[in-house]
Amino acid sequence: MATRVFSGIQPTGAIHIGNYVGAVRNWVRLTREHECYFSIVDLHAITIPYEVKELPARIYEAALDLLAAGLDPERCVLFVQSYVPEHTELCWLFNTLASVGALERMTQFKDKSEQFRENVNVGLFDYPVLQAADILLYKADLVPVGEDQLQHLELSREIARRFNHHFGDTFPEPKPALTPAARVMALNEPTRKMSKSIPGSFISLADTDQEIRKKVNRAVTDVGPLEGEMSPGVKNLFTLLEAFGTPEQVAHFQAQYDAGSLRYSELKPAVGEAIAGELAPIRERRAALASEPGGVWEILDAGAERARVVARRTMEEARERMGLRRK
C-alpha cells in the first residue's frame, strides 16, 4: 500500500537553501512515490508574536518558493493549514487525550517560553497537539522532519495510540522520516544554523547568480586555529558542496584539505557555482509563477479543497468514535 506522507512548514516567507536541502528537496522526492500532503502552518506561526500585516506575504512567499522548488500541485496537495478548519477541531478532540505533563516536557515549548516570556500563551503550549492533528487528520504514516521535531512526533504517536485504545482502531502511528540532509550553517556565523533571523547568514531561492557567488565568497572560514579539526566555516562549505556539487568535486577538495593545500579561492567559487546552477531553474519558475496574477493563491485554494475532502471524512469518523454523534 502506498504510504501517506504529511509535513508542515512554518510560513517564514521566502525560503533559504538550508530549508531547501534540509526539507523541501526531500519533499519533492517523496511526491514521486507517495501520496503527499504539505501544509503551510499559519496556525502554528501565530503562537509567537508576529506582525499581522506581514503574515499574508509570508504565506504567499513560502508557497511561491515551495512551488518553484519543484512541488507540483498535480503530484501533491499543498495548502494553508487554517483554510482547513478540521485541523483545529481534531486538535480539540486530541486535547482531551494529551497530558499536561507531557506538554510541559516539550523542549520547544520550554525554549519558546524562555524566548517569549511576555507571551507564554495556551496556543504555544498546545502547539504539539495541533501538530498531531495535522498529521493524523490525513492518517499519514510517514512524516519527513528534522531531528528537532522527533519529540513532537513521539507525542503524535502517543495520541494515536490513546485514541485507538479508548475509541477503537482509527489512526496509524506516524513514523518520522529523518531527512538525510546535513545541517546548513549561517555563512557569516558558521556555529549557528542558517536562519532568516540572522542577516547575512542565508542564500534565498530568489537570489541572483551574482548574489549567490558574493555571499559564498564572503563566507567566514577561519575562526582562529583549531587543532586538527576542520573549522565550522570550512565544514559548512563542504556541506554545501555535498548538497549541491558532485561527489567528484567533494573528493577533489577533500584530498586537497587532507594534503594541507586547500585553497578557499578555488573552493568558494566551486561552491558558489554549484549552488547557482541548481537555483537557476528554480528562480525562473519562481518569476513565472509570481507574474501570474492569482496563480499561487488559486493553487492554495484548490489544495485546501482537496485536503478538506480527506479531513472531513476523518472528522466524521473521529466524532462518531468519540460518541459525539447520535446513533
**Torsion angles phi and psi, residue 198, rounded to 5:** -110, 105
Told to check if 87 binds ligand TRP by CB under 6 A, we report no
Told to check if 82 binds ligand TRP by CB under 6 A, we report no
CB of 148 to ligand TRP, least distance (A): 7
Which range touches ligand TRP (CB under 6 A), out of 5-13, 113-121, 258-266, 276-284? 5-13
**What b/e sequence results for 290-318 when a residue is b if at least 16 CB atoms lie within 10 Å of its CB, and e otherwise?**
beeeeebeebbeebbebbbebbeebbeeb
Task: Pick the catalytic residue from 193, 235, 268, 327.
Answer: 193
Catalytic residue check, 196: yes
Catalytic residue check, 268: no
CB of 307 to ligand TRP, least distance (A): 13
**Element (H or E) spanning 241, and its range?**
helix 232-244
Nearest in space to 280 (alpha carbons), one of 203, 204, 209, 202: 209
Which range touches ligand TRP (CB under 6 A), out of 2-10, 161-169, 201-209, 299-307? 2-10
Judged by CB under 6 A, which of 4, 5, 8, 181 binds ligand TRP?
A: 8
CB of 117 to ligand TRP, least distance (A): 20
Contact criterion met (CB below 8 Å) for 128 and 99: no
The site that binds ligand TRP (CB under 6 A) totals a number of residues, namely: 12
Told to check if 160 binds ligand TRP by CB under 6 A, we report no
Can you spell out the DSSP letters for 44-88?
A: HHTTS---GGGHHHHHHHHHHHHHHTT--TTTSEEEEGGGSTHHH
Q: Are strands 189-193 and 185-186 parallel, antiparallel or unpaired?
A: antiparallel
321: alpha, beta or left, given left = phi > 0 and alpha = psi -120 to 50? alpha
Q: Which residues pair with 69 in a beta bridge?
A: none
Q: Which residue is nearest to ligand TRP (CB)?
A: 8
Catalytic residue check, 214: no
C-alpha cell of residue 282: 528554480
C-alpha cell of residue 296: 499561487
Contact criterion met (CB below 8 Å) for 170 and 33: no
Judged by CB under 6 A, which of 4, 5, 6, 66 binds ligand TRP?
A: 6
Taking the chain, what is the end-to-end CA distance rounded to the nearest angstrom?
32
Told to check if 134 binds ligand TRP by CB under 6 A, we report yes
Told to check if 47 binds ligand TRP by CB under 6 A, we report no
SS3 251: helix
Judged by CB under 6 A, which of 14, 59, 68, 135 binds ligand TRP?
A: 135
Told to check if 44 binds ligand TRP by CB under 6 A, we report yes
CB of 199 to ligand TRP, least distance (A): 21
Each residue 94-133 as x (binds ligand TRP by CB under 6 A) or -, in order, gives -------------------------------------x--
Which range touches ligand TRP (CB under 6 A), out of 7-15, 26-34, 55-63, 110-118? 7-15
Nearer to ligand TRP, 19 or 236 (CB): 19
Chain centroid to Cα 166, Å, comes to 32
Cα separation of 272 and 249, whole Å? 13
Q: Which residues are catalytic?
A: 112, 193, 196
Residues near ligand TRP (CB under 6 A): 6-8, 10, 41, 44, 131, 134-135, 143, 145, 149
